[in-house]
Amino acid sequence: MKISIACDDKYEAKKLASFIFIKEGKETYITGILNVIKNEMVISLKDKSAHSILLKDEENVENFADFIQSVIDKENMLTSTEIIENVVEIVKE
């Protein structure tokens, strides 16, 4: 399954992609979504830190949250991420 998530800008897209995917283990640094405020999402990482990511709009936040939940729950594994301008394409199996 593949999804494209539009971020607020290129910086936010790079930040999101770096948090999402660990290539060697095909896993994610993200352990949960702590809060959503309009187009801003606060995520928790494996190192117990929290980070804010600005997406293009509330629809992208909802789509990403739905998509990544099965990965957080270890039902699916990530296979790749690609950044195209301000869009992050994510593939899971």
**91 falls within a domain:** no
Does residue 25 form part of some domain? yes
Within a domain: residue 93? no
77 DSSP assignment: -
Q: Check residue 26 and give its pLDDT.
A: 65
- Residue 56 belongs to some domain of the structure: yes
Cα–Cα distance measured from residue 87 to residue 48, given in angstroms and rounded to the nearest whole number:
26
Q: For 16-20, 53-57, 64-68, 85-89, which range has the lowest pLDDT when averaged over its residues? A: 16-20
Q: What is the pTM of this model?
A: 0.88
Q: Domain tally for the chain?
A: 1
| Residue 92 domain flag | no
Q: Count CA atoms within 13 Å of residue 42 on its CB side.
A: 7
Q: Which domain covers residue 54, as residue numbers?
A: 2-86
